[in-house]
Protein backbone atom coordinates (compact mmCIF):
# COMPACT_ATOMS: atom_id res chain seq x y z
CA UNK A 1 0.00 0.00 0.00
CA UNK A 2 1.36 3.44 -0.87
CA UNK A 3 0.37 6.82 0.49
CA UNK A 4 -0.26 9.21 -2.35
CA UNK A 5 -1.08 11.90 0.17
CA UNK A 6 -2.37 12.08 3.72
CA UNK A 7 -5.99 11.50 2.68
CA UNK A 8 -5.76 9.04 -0.21
CA UNK A 9 -5.02 5.35 0.21
CA UNK A 10 -4.00 3.10 -2.64
CA UNK A 11 -4.14 -0.66 -2.11
CA UNK A 12 -1.59 -3.16 -3.34
CA UNK A 13 -4.29 -5.69 -4.17
CA UNK A 14 -6.34 -4.95 -7.26
CA UNK A 15 -9.98 -3.99 -6.84
CA UNK A 16 -12.36 -5.89 -9.16
CA UNK A 17 -14.14 -3.76 -11.76
CA UNK A 18 -17.61 -4.57 -13.07
CA UNK A 19 -19.98 -2.98 -15.55
CA UNK A 20 -23.41 -1.62 -14.61
CA UNK A 21 -25.04 -4.55 -16.41
CA UNK A 22 -23.01 -7.05 -14.36
CA UNK A 23 -24.18 -5.34 -11.16
CA UNK A 24 -27.82 -5.24 -12.16
CA UNK A 25 -27.95 -8.86 -13.30
CA UNK A 26 -26.20 -10.07 -10.16
CA UNK A 27 -23.11 -11.57 -11.81
CA UNK A 28 -20.84 -9.15 -9.98
CA UNK A 29 -22.34 -9.94 -6.59
CA UNK A 30 -22.12 -13.68 -7.22
CA UNK A 31 -18.44 -13.34 -8.15
CA UNK A 32 -17.61 -11.05 -5.21
CA UNK A 33 -19.00 -13.50 -2.66
CA UNK A 34 -18.02 -16.68 -4.50
CA UNK A 35 -21.64 -17.77 -4.92
CA UNK A 36 -23.22 -20.00 -7.57
CA UNK A 37 -26.55 -19.11 -9.20
CA UNK A 38 -28.20 -22.18 -7.68
CA UNK A 39 -27.37 -20.84 -4.16
CA UNK A 40 -29.57 -17.74 -4.69
CA UNK A 41 -33.33 -17.85 -4.26
CA UNK A 42 -34.06 -14.20 -5.05
CA UNK A 43 -32.01 -11.31 -6.37
CA UNK A 44 -32.87 -7.63 -6.95
CA UNK A 45 -30.60 -4.67 -7.77
CA UNK A 46 -31.16 -0.94 -8.14
CA UNK A 47 -29.39 2.41 -7.89
CA UNK A 48 -30.41 4.69 -5.03
CA UNK A 49 -29.65 6.71 -1.90
CA UNK A 50 -28.42 5.22 1.38
CA UNK A 51 -28.25 6.76 4.84
CA UNK A 52 -25.21 6.06 7.01
CA UNK A 53 -24.92 7.68 10.46
CA UNK A 54 -26.74 10.85 9.39
CA UNK A 55 -24.75 10.95 6.13
CA UNK A 56 -26.52 10.69 2.79
CA UNK A 57 -24.76 8.58 0.17
CA UNK A 58 -25.90 9.01 -3.42
CA UNK A 59 -25.44 6.71 -6.41
CA UNK A 60 -25.29 3.63 -4.18
CA UNK A 61 -25.77 0.21 -5.75
CA UNK A 62 -28.37 -1.49 -3.54
CA UNK A 63 -28.61 -5.26 -3.87
CA UNK A 64 -31.26 -7.42 -2.15
CA UNK A 65 -30.45 -11.12 -1.84
CA UNK A 66 -32.21 -14.14 -0.37
CA UNK A 67 -30.26 -17.40 -0.24
CA UNK A 68 -31.76 -20.81 -0.84
CA UNK A 69 -32.16 -22.83 2.35
CA UNK A 70 -29.36 -25.29 3.08
CA UNK A 71 -29.25 -28.10 5.66
CA UNK A 72 -27.77 -26.97 8.97
CA UNK A 73 -27.72 -27.90 12.65
CA UNK A 74 -28.59 -26.07 15.84
CA UNK A 75 -25.34 -24.58 17.24
CA UNK A 76 -26.66 -25.12 20.81
CA UNK A 77 -27.69 -28.79 20.76
CA UNK A 78 -26.50 -30.08 17.37
CA UNK A 79 -29.94 -31.31 16.28
CA UNK A 80 -31.37 -30.87 12.77
CA UNK A 81 -34.99 -30.42 13.88
CA UNK A 82 -35.75 -26.73 13.24
CA UNK A 83 -38.25 -24.42 11.52
CA UNK A 84 -38.03 -20.92 10.02
CA UNK A 85 -39.01 -18.45 12.73
CA UNK A 86 -38.78 -15.30 10.58
CA UNK A 87 -36.75 -13.38 8.03
CA UNK A 88 -34.59 -10.43 9.13
CA UNK A 89 -33.09 -7.93 6.71
CA UNK A 90 -29.43 -7.18 7.34
CA UNK A 91 -27.71 -4.22 5.70
CA UNK A 92 -24.14 -5.11 4.81
CA UNK A 93 -21.57 -2.58 3.59
CA UNK A 94 -19.06 -3.69 0.99
CA UNK A 95 -15.86 -2.12 -0.33
CA UNK A 96 -15.95 0.42 -3.17
CA UNK A 97 -16.18 -1.15 -6.61
CA UNK A 98 -15.91 0.99 -9.73
CA UNK A 99 -15.68 3.98 -7.36
CA UNK A 100 -19.20 3.40 -6.05
CA UNK A 101 -20.32 2.04 -2.68
CA UNK A 102 -22.28 -1.19 -2.52
CA UNK A 103 -25.04 -1.84 0.02
CA UNK A 104 -26.22 -5.43 0.36
CA UNK A 105 -29.66 -6.06 1.85
CA UNK A 106 -29.49 -9.68 2.91
CA UNK A 107 -32.78 -11.39 3.95
CA UNK A 108 -31.49 -13.78 6.60
CA UNK A 109 -33.52 -16.73 7.83
CA UNK A 110 -33.78 -17.04 11.59
CA UNK A 111 -34.49 -20.61 12.68
CA UNK A 112 -35.99 -21.99 15.89
CA UNK A 113 -34.76 -25.36 17.14
CA UNK A 114 -37.68 -27.66 17.93
CA UNK A 115 -35.58 -29.53 20.50
CA UNK A 116 -33.93 -26.84 22.69
CA UNK A 117 -36.08 -23.89 21.48
CA UNK A 118 -32.97 -21.76 20.81
CA UNK A 119 -32.94 -19.47 17.76
CA UNK A 120 -30.11 -19.05 15.30
CA UNK A 121 -29.36 -17.59 11.85
CA UNK A 122 -28.53 -19.53 8.73
CA UNK A 123 -24.87 -19.56 7.71
CA UNK A 124 -23.95 -17.09 4.98
CA UNK A 125 -20.88 -16.01 2.99
CA UNK A 126 -21.50 -12.29 3.45
CA UNK A 127 -20.51 -11.37 6.98
CA UNK A 128 -18.74 -12.67 10.05
CA UNK A 129 -20.67 -13.20 13.27
CA UNK A 130 -22.23 -10.02 14.78
CA UNK A 131 -20.89 -7.77 11.99
CA UNK A 132 -22.57 -5.62 9.36
CA UNK A 133 -19.61 -5.28 7.02
CA UNK A 134 -18.94 -7.93 4.39
CA UNK A 135 -16.35 -10.60 5.09
CA UNK A 136 -14.49 -9.66 1.90
CA UNK A 137 -14.26 -6.04 3.03
CA UNK A 138 -13.06 -7.06 6.50
CA UNK A 139 -10.29 -9.21 5.02
CA UNK A 140 -9.24 -6.43 2.63
CA UNK A 141 -9.11 -3.94 5.51
CA UNK A 142 -6.98 -6.24 7.64
CA UNK A 143 -4.57 -6.82 4.76
CA UNK A 144 -4.23 -3.06 4.26
CA UNK A 145 -3.43 -2.57 7.96
CA UNK A 146 -0.23 -4.62 7.60
CA UNK A 147 1.58 -1.39 6.66
CA UNK A 148 2.80 0.67 9.67
CA UNK A 149 2.14 4.01 7.96
CA UNK A 150 -1.55 3.27 7.22
CA UNK A 151 -4.11 4.84 9.56
CA UNK A 152 -7.57 3.72 10.64
CA UNK A 153 -8.93 6.94 9.10
CA UNK A 154 -7.45 6.13 5.68
CA UNK A 155 -8.97 2.66 5.80
CA UNK A 156 -12.33 4.14 6.83
CA UNK A 157 -12.33 6.59 3.91
CA UNK A 158 -11.48 3.90 1.42
CA UNK A 159 -14.15 1.43 2.55
CA UNK A 160 -16.89 3.97 3.35
CA UNK A 161 -17.10 3.20 7.07
CA UNK A 162 -16.17 5.07 10.25
CA UNK A 163 -12.70 4.99 11.89
CA UNK A 164 -14.39 3.61 15.01
CA UNK A 165 -15.70 0.66 12.99
CA UNK A 166 -12.20 0.02 11.59
CA UNK A 167 -10.75 -0.02 15.11
CA UNK A 168 -13.51 -2.34 16.30
CA UNK A 169 -12.95 -4.76 13.41
CA UNK A 170 -9.21 -4.72 14.04
CA UNK A 171 -9.78 -5.53 17.73
CA UNK A 172 -12.16 -8.38 16.87
CA UNK A 173 -9.81 -10.12 14.43
CA UNK A 174 -6.26 -9.38 15.61
CA UNK A 175 -4.84 -10.78 18.83
CA UNK A 176 -1.06 -11.18 18.64
CA UNK A 177 0.57 -13.73 20.94
CA UNK A 178 4.08 -13.68 22.37
CA UNK A 179 6.61 -15.59 20.26
CA UNK A 180 8.89 -18.19 21.86
CA UNK A 181 12.08 -16.77 23.38
CA UNK A 182 15.02 -17.10 20.94
CA UNK A 183 18.66 -17.96 21.56
CA UNK A 184 19.81 -14.43 20.66
CA UNK A 185 17.66 -11.51 21.73
CA UNK A 186 17.79 -7.70 21.64
CA UNK A 187 15.95 -5.50 24.14
CA UNK A 188 15.41 -1.76 23.86
CA UNK A 189 12.82 0.93 24.48
CA UNK A 190 11.24 3.80 22.58
CA UNK A 191 9.17 6.79 23.62
CA UNK A 192 5.94 5.65 21.97
CA UNK A 193 3.10 5.06 24.42
CA UNK A 194 2.47 7.24 27.45
CA UNK A 195 0.62 6.06 30.56
CA UNK A 196 0.51 7.47 34.09
CA UNK A 197 3.03 4.78 35.06
CA UNK A 198 5.48 4.99 32.13
CA UNK A 199 6.27 6.83 28.91
CA UNK A 200 8.26 4.05 27.24
CA UNK A 201 7.48 0.95 25.21
CA UNK A 202 9.92 -1.89 25.83
CA UNK A 203 10.44 -4.22 22.86
CA UNK A 204 12.46 -7.40 22.57
CA UNK A 205 13.19 -9.05 19.23
CA UNK A 206 14.74 -12.18 17.81
CA UNK A 207 18.16 -11.02 16.62
CA UNK A 208 18.44 -13.66 13.90
CA UNK A 209 15.01 -13.17 12.31
CA UNK A 210 14.29 -9.55 13.32
CA UNK A 211 10.81 -10.60 14.46
CA UNK A 212 9.44 -8.76 17.52
CA UNK A 213 8.77 -11.27 20.29
CA UNK A 214 6.59 -8.90 22.31
CA UNK A 215 6.30 -5.33 23.54
CA UNK A 216 5.49 -4.03 27.02
CA UNK A 217 4.09 -0.65 28.15
CA UNK A 218 6.89 -0.17 30.71
CA UNK A 219 10.61 -0.61 31.18
CA UNK A 220 10.50 -0.60 34.99
CA UNK A 221 12.32 -3.40 36.76
CA UNK A 222 9.31 -4.72 38.67
CA UNK A 223 7.18 -4.82 35.50
CA UNK A 224 9.84 -6.62 33.47
CA UNK A 225 10.49 -9.15 36.23
CA UNK A 226 6.77 -9.85 36.62
CA UNK A 227 6.43 -10.42 32.88
CA UNK A 228 9.45 -12.67 32.34
CA UNK A 229 8.88 -14.76 35.46
CA UNK A 230 5.53 -15.85 34.02
CA UNK A 231 7.46 -17.55 31.21
CA UNK A 232 8.55 -21.12 32.10
CA UNK A 233 12.14 -21.39 33.35
CA UNK A 234 12.83 -24.12 30.79
CA UNK A 235 12.11 -21.63 28.01
CA UNK A 236 14.12 -18.85 29.63
CA UNK A 237 17.13 -21.17 29.88
CA UNK A 238 17.27 -21.33 26.06
CA UNK A 239 18.32 -17.66 25.80
CA UNK A 240 22.09 -17.48 25.18
CA UNK A 241 22.81 -13.77 24.53
CA UNK A 242 20.79 -10.63 25.25
CA UNK A 243 21.90 -7.41 23.55
CA UNK A 244 21.02 -4.06 25.12
CA UNK A 245 22.00 -0.45 25.60
CA UNK A 246 23.67 0.55 28.88
CA UNK A 247 20.43 0.79 30.86
CA UNK A 248 21.32 -0.93 34.12
CA UNK A 249 17.75 -2.11 34.81
CA UNK A 250 17.91 -4.40 31.77
CA UNK A 251 21.16 -5.89 33.04
CA UNK A 252 19.67 -6.58 36.46
CA UNK A 253 16.56 -8.18 34.95
CA UNK A 254 18.50 -10.38 32.52
CA UNK A 255 20.78 -11.66 35.28
CA UNK A 256 17.74 -12.64 37.35
CA UNK A 257 15.49 -14.24 34.72
CA UNK A 258 17.88 -15.68 32.09
CA UNK A 259 20.33 -17.92 34.01
CA UNK A 260 22.28 -19.07 30.93
CA UNK A 261 22.47 -15.79 29.02
CA UNK A 262 25.49 -13.59 28.31
CA UNK A 263 24.78 -9.85 28.29
CA UNK A 264 26.10 -7.88 25.31
CA UNK A 265 26.50 -4.09 25.52
CA UNK A 266 25.63 -2.75 22.08
CA UNK A 267 28.52 -1.05 20.28
CA UNK A 268 26.30 1.68 18.84
CA UNK A 269 25.22 2.87 22.29
CA UNK A 270 28.76 2.69 23.71
CA UNK A 271 30.19 4.79 20.89
CA UNK A 272 27.22 7.16 21.05
CA UNK A 273 27.85 7.79 24.75
CA UNK A 274 31.52 8.48 24.06
CA UNK A 275 30.72 10.87 21.20
CA UNK A 276 28.23 12.76 23.38
CA UNK A 277 30.91 13.31 26.02
CA UNK A 278 33.45 14.42 23.40
CA UNK A 279 30.89 16.81 21.96
CA UNK A 280 30.31 18.30 25.42
CA UNK A 281 34.03 19.16 25.49
CA UNK A 282 33.78 20.70 21.99
CA UNK A 283 30.86 22.92 23.04
CA UNK A 284 32.66 24.02 26.22
CA UNK A 285 35.76 24.96 24.24
CA UNK A 286 33.70 26.72 21.55
CA UNK A 287 31.93 28.92 24.10
CA UNK A 288 35.26 30.34 25.24
CA UNK A 289 35.59 32.18 21.92
CA UNK A 290 33.61 35.03 20.40
CA UNK A 291 31.01 34.09 17.82
CA UNK A 292 32.86 35.94 15.02
CA UNK A 293 36.22 34.27 15.71
CA UNK A 294 37.87 31.68 13.48
CA UNK A 295 37.95 29.17 16.35
CA UNK A 296 34.20 29.49 16.94
CA UNK A 297 33.56 29.17 13.20
CA UNK A 298 35.61 25.96 12.90
CA UNK A 299 34.14 24.31 15.99
CA UNK A 300 30.57 25.15 15.00
CA UNK A 301 30.52 24.53 11.26
CA UNK A 302 33.03 21.66 10.94
CA UNK A 303 32.22 19.78 14.15
CA UNK A 304 31.07 16.77 12.08
CA UNK A 305 34.72 16.10 11.19
CA UNK A 306 35.53 15.30 14.80
CA UNK A 307 33.15 12.34 14.79
CA UNK A 308 33.98 10.93 11.38
CA UNK A 309 36.17 7.85 11.17
CA UNK A 310 39.60 8.72 9.79
CA UNK A 311 39.08 6.14 7.03
CA UNK A 312 35.71 7.57 5.94
CA UNK A 313 35.16 7.95 2.19
CA UNK A 314 32.92 10.19 0.09
CA UNK A 315 30.36 9.12 -2.51
CA UNK A 316 33.11 8.53 -5.05
CA UNK A 317 35.01 6.24 -2.69
CA UNK A 318 37.80 8.75 -2.00
CA UNK A 319 39.19 9.24 1.50
CA UNK A 320 37.72 12.35 3.15
CA UNK A 321 40.87 13.07 5.14
CA UNK A 322 43.44 12.24 2.48
CA UNK A 323 46.28 14.83 2.81
CA UNK A 324 46.52 14.90 -1.00
CA UNK A 325 42.80 15.61 -1.44
CA UNK A 326 41.91 18.62 -3.58
CA UNK A 327 41.81 21.95 -1.71
CA UNK A 328 38.87 24.35 -1.88
CA UNK A 329 38.78 28.05 -1.08
CA UNK A 330 37.22 29.01 2.27
CA UNK A 331 35.95 32.61 2.43
CA UNK A 332 36.04 32.80 6.22
CA UNK A 333 39.62 31.57 6.45
CA UNK A 334 40.63 33.28 3.16
CA UNK A 335 42.70 30.35 1.94
CA UNK A 336 42.44 27.02 0.17
CA UNK A 337 42.27 23.95 2.41
CA UNK A 338 41.18 20.32 2.23
CA UNK A 339 39.33 18.41 4.96
CA UNK A 340 42.51 17.05 6.55
CA UNK A 341 43.96 20.55 6.95
CA UNK A 342 40.71 21.89 8.43
CA UNK A 343 40.61 19.00 10.93
CA UNK A 344 44.22 19.68 11.97
CA UNK A 345 43.37 23.34 12.59
CA UNK A 346 40.42 22.33 14.78
CA UNK A 347 42.58 19.97 16.85
CA UNK A 348 45.16 22.74 17.38
CA UNK A 349 42.56 24.95 19.11
CA UNK A 350 42.61 23.14 22.47
CA UNK A 351 44.73 20.26 23.89
CA UNK A 352 41.81 18.79 25.87
CA UNK A 353 39.71 18.56 22.73
CA UNK A 354 42.60 16.95 20.86
CA UNK A 355 43.00 14.38 23.62
CA UNK A 356 39.27 13.59 23.59
CA UNK A 357 39.27 13.00 19.82
CA UNK A 358 42.41 10.87 20.00
CA UNK A 359 40.78 8.72 22.70
CA UNK A 360 37.67 8.46 20.53
CA UNK A 361 39.78 7.14 17.66
CA UNK A 362 41.37 4.56 19.97
CA UNK A 363 37.90 3.41 21.04
CA UNK A 364 36.84 3.05 17.39
CA UNK A 365 40.03 1.12 16.65
CA UNK A 366 39.31 -1.17 19.60
CA UNK A 367 35.94 -2.15 18.12
CA UNK A 368 37.28 -2.53 14.59
CA UNK A 369 40.33 -4.64 15.40
CA UNK A 370 39.42 -6.76 18.43
CA UNK A 371 38.05 -10.27 18.75
CA UNK A 372 36.44 -12.04 21.69
CA UNK A 373 39.82 -13.55 22.65
CA UNK A 374 41.72 -10.22 22.52
CA UNK A 375 39.00 -7.78 23.61
CA UNK A 376 39.46 -8.12 27.39
CA UNK A 377 43.17 -7.23 27.37
CA UNK A 378 42.73 -4.35 24.91
CA UNK A 379 39.75 -3.00 26.82
CA UNK A 380 41.69 -2.91 30.10
CA UNK A 381 44.35 -0.78 28.43
CA UNK A 382 41.73 1.50 26.91
CA UNK A 383 40.00 1.95 30.28
CA UNK A 384 43.32 3.05 31.81
CA UNK A 385 43.83 5.71 29.15
CA UNK A 386 40.33 7.12 29.57
CA UNK A 387 40.53 7.15 33.37
CA UNK A 388 43.84 9.07 33.20
CA UNK A 389 42.46 11.70 30.79
CA UNK A 390 42.63 15.40 31.69
CA UNK A 391 38.89 16.02 31.25
CA UNK A 392 36.12 14.90 33.57
CA UNK A 393 33.97 13.73 30.65
CA UNK A 394 36.59 11.28 29.39
CA UNK A 395 37.32 10.01 32.90
CA UNK A 396 33.61 9.41 33.42
CA UNK A 397 33.46 7.45 30.19
CA UNK A 398 36.39 5.39 31.44
CA UNK A 399 34.24 4.58 34.46
CA UNK A 400 31.41 3.53 32.13
CA UNK A 401 33.76 1.19 30.27
CA UNK A 402 34.89 -0.34 33.57
CA UNK A 403 31.30 -0.74 34.80
CA UNK A 404 30.25 -2.48 31.56
CA UNK A 405 33.55 -4.24 30.86
CA UNK A 406 32.22 -7.82 30.80
CA UNK A 407 29.22 -6.85 28.67
CA UNK A 408 31.44 -4.99 26.18
CA UNK A 409 33.72 -8.02 25.85
CA UNK A 410 30.64 -10.21 25.29
CA UNK A 411 29.63 -8.00 22.35
CA UNK A 412 32.47 -9.68 20.38
CA UNK A 413 30.91 -13.16 20.65
CA UNK A 414 30.24 -14.38 17.10
CA UNK A 415 26.75 -15.86 16.69
CA UNK A 416 26.78 -16.54 12.93
CA UNK A 417 28.59 -15.92 9.65
CA UNK A 418 27.38 -14.49 6.37
CA UNK A 419 29.16 -14.94 3.06
CA UNK A 420 29.36 -12.20 0.46
CA UNK A 421 31.05 -11.87 -2.92
CA UNK A 422 33.62 -9.05 -3.06
CA UNK A 423 32.73 -6.76 -5.97
CA UNK A 424 36.37 -5.92 -6.67
CA UNK A 425 37.97 -9.35 -6.97
CA UNK A 426 34.95 -11.69 -6.97
CA UNK A 427 36.22 -13.60 -3.94
CA UNK A 428 33.81 -14.96 -1.33
CA UNK A 429 34.27 -13.10 1.95
CA UNK A 430 33.11 -14.41 5.34
CA UNK A 431 31.65 -11.85 7.72
CA UNK A 432 31.25 -12.55 11.44
CA UNK A 433 27.97 -11.42 12.98
CA UNK A 434 27.71 -10.29 16.59
CA UNK A 435 24.51 -9.27 18.39
CA UNK A 436 23.90 -5.58 17.72
CA UNK A 437 21.02 -3.10 17.69
CA UNK A 438 20.80 -2.48 13.94
CA UNK A 439 17.56 -4.41 13.44
CA UNK A 440 16.14 -3.10 16.73
CA UNK A 441 16.64 0.53 15.71
CA UNK A 442 14.70 -0.09 12.50
CA UNK A 443 11.89 -1.72 14.48
CA UNK A 444 11.79 1.20 16.91
CA UNK A 445 11.52 3.55 13.94
CA UNK A 446 8.44 1.65 12.75
CA UNK A 447 6.93 1.81 16.25
CA UNK A 448 7.38 5.60 16.26
CA UNK A 449 5.73 5.75 12.81
CA UNK A 450 2.69 3.89 14.17
CA UNK A 451 2.58 6.23 17.15
CA UNK A 452 2.69 9.24 14.83
CA UNK A 453 -0.04 8.08 12.43
CA UNK A 454 -2.32 6.94 15.26
CA UNK A 455 -2.06 10.34 16.99
CA UNK A 456 -0.99 8.79 20.27
CA UNK A 457 -3.43 5.85 20.45
CA UNK A 458 -4.50 5.51 24.08
CA UNK A 459 -5.64 1.86 24.12
CA UNK A 460 -2.64 -0.32 25.01
CA UNK A 461 -3.90 -3.75 23.78
CA UNK A 462 -4.87 -2.15 20.45
CA UNK A 463 -1.51 -0.35 20.15
CA UNK A 464 0.38 -3.55 21.00
CA UNK A 465 -1.57 -5.59 18.43
CA UNK A 466 -1.12 -2.84 15.82
CA UNK A 467 2.66 -2.82 16.30
CA UNK A 468 3.15 -6.60 16.30
CA UNK A 469 0.69 -7.11 13.42
CA UNK A 470 2.56 -4.57 11.28
CA UNK A 471 6.11 -5.67 12.15
CA UNK A 472 5.83 -9.46 11.98
CA UNK A 473 6.36 -10.84 8.50
CA UNK A 474 3.90 -13.72 8.85
CA UNK A 475 1.32 -12.01 11.07
CA UNK A 476 -2.19 -13.43 10.67
CA UNK A 477 -5.67 -12.58 11.88
CA UNK A 478 -8.64 -14.61 13.11
CA UNK A 479 -11.30 -15.28 10.48
CA UNK A 480 -14.05 -15.41 13.10
CA UNK A 481 -14.42 -12.38 15.40
CA UNK A 482 -13.13 -12.62 18.96
CA UNK A 483 -16.07 -12.54 21.39
CA UNK A 484 -14.51 -10.08 23.83
CA UNK A 485 -11.33 -8.43 22.51
CA UNK A 486 -8.63 -7.41 24.98
CA UNK A 487 -8.84 -3.81 23.75
CA UNK A 488 -12.53 -3.70 24.73
CA UNK A 489 -11.85 -5.17 28.17
CA UNK A 490 -8.99 -2.69 28.65
CA UNK A 491 -11.25 0.25 27.72
CA UNK A 492 -13.94 -0.92 30.15
CA UNK A 493 -11.42 -1.37 32.96
CA UNK A 494 -9.93 2.06 32.30
CA UNK A 495 -13.36 3.70 32.25
CA UNK A 496 -14.32 1.93 35.48
CA UNK A 497 -11.10 3.07 37.17
CA UNK A 498 -11.71 6.66 36.04
CA UNK A 499 -15.27 6.54 37.36
CA UNK A 500 -14.09 5.18 40.71
CA UNK A 501 -11.41 7.86 40.92
CA UNK A 502 -13.98 10.55 40.12
CA UNK A 503 -16.35 9.15 42.77
CA UNK A 504 -13.57 9.26 45.40
CA UNK A 505 -12.82 12.88 44.50
CA UNK A 506 -16.51 13.75 44.77
CA UNK A 507 -16.76 12.15 48.23
CA UNK A 508 -13.62 13.95 49.41
CA UNK A 509 -14.93 17.28 48.09
CA UNK A 510 -18.28 16.72 49.83
CA UNK A 511 -16.52 15.88 53.11
CA UNK A 512 -14.42 19.05 52.86
CA UNK A 513 -17.49 21.17 52.27
CA UNK A 514 -19.27 19.59 55.25
CA UNK A 515 -16.24 20.18 57.48
CA UNK A 516 -16.12 23.84 56.48
CA UNK A 517 -19.83 24.27 57.09
pLDDT digits (tens, 9 = 90+) for 207-256: 999 999 999 999 999 999 999 999 999 999 999 999 999 999 999 999 99
* pTM score: 0.73
Confidence band (pLDDT; 50, 70, 90) for 14? very low
Lowest mean pLDDT across 130-144, 337-351, 433-447:
130-144
3-class DSSP assignment, residue 137? helix
Distance separating alpha carbons of residues 97 and 427, to the nearest angstrom: 54
Structural domains of the chain ordered from first start: 2-173 (no CATH), 184-266+438-471 (3.30.420.10), 267-410 (no CATH)
Residue 505 neighbours by CB under 8 Å, 6+ apart: none
What is the model's pLDDT at position 53?
Answer: 56
Lowest mean pLDDT across 271-285, 407-421, 439-453:
439-453
Q: Which of residues 508 and 185 earns the better pLDDT score?
A: 185
Contact of 453 with 424, CB cutoff 8 Å: no
Quote the radius of gyration of the chain (alpha carbons, Å).
32
What is the model's pLDDT at position 421?
Answer: 77
Q: What percent of the chain has pLDDT over 70?
A: 84
What is the model's pLDDT at position 254?
Answer: 96
Burial of 287 (0-12, 13-18, 19+ CB in 10 A): exposed
Residue 293 has pLDDT above 70, yes or no: yes
What is the model's pLDDT at position 50?
Answer: 63
Instruction: Return the number of other C-beta atoms located less than 10 Å from residue 288's C-beta.
Output: 12
Q: Give the CA distances from residue 128 to residues 29, 92, 125, 146, in Å, rounded to whole numbers and listed in that order.
A: 17, 11, 8, 20
Q: Give the CA distances from residue 190 to residues 96, 216, 224, 232, in Å, rounded to whole numbers and listed in that order.
A: 38, 11, 15, 27
Distance separating alpha carbons of residues 141 and 281, to the nearest angstrom: 53
Widest Cα–Cα separation across the chain: 100
Distance separating alpha carbons of residues 227 and 383, to the nearest angstrom: 36
Contact of 415 with 434, CB cutoff 8 Å: yes
Distance separating alpha carbons of residues 168 and 336, to the nearest angstrom: 65
Distance separating alpha carbons of residues 219 and 446, to the nearest angstrom: 19
Residue 506 neighbours by CB under 8 Å, 6+ apart: none
Q: What's the rounded mean pLDDT across residues 423-435?
A: 79
Contact of 357 with 345, CB cutoff 8 Å: no
Q: Which helix or strand (DSSP H or E) is residue 419 part of?
A: strand 414-421
Instruction: Return the number of other C-beta atoms located less than 10 Å from residue 292's C-beta.
Output: 8
Q: Which of residues 475 and 50 earns the better pLDDT score?
A: 475
N residues, the chain: 517
Amino acid sequence: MRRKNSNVLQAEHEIPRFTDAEFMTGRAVLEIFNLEQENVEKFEACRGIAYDNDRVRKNVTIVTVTLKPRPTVCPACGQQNYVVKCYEEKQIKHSILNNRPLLLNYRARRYRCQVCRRTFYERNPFVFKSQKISADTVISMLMDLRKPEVTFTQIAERYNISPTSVASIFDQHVDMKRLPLPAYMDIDESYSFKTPESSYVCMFIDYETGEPIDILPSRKKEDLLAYFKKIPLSERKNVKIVGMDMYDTYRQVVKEVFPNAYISADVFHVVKDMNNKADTIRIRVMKRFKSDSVEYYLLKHFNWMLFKDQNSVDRDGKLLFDPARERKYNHKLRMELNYKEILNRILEIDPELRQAIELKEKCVDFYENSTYSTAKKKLNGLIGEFENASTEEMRNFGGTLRNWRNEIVNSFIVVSHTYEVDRKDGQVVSKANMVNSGVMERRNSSVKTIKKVTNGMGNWPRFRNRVLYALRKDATFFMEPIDEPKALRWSRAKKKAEEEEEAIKTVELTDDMEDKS
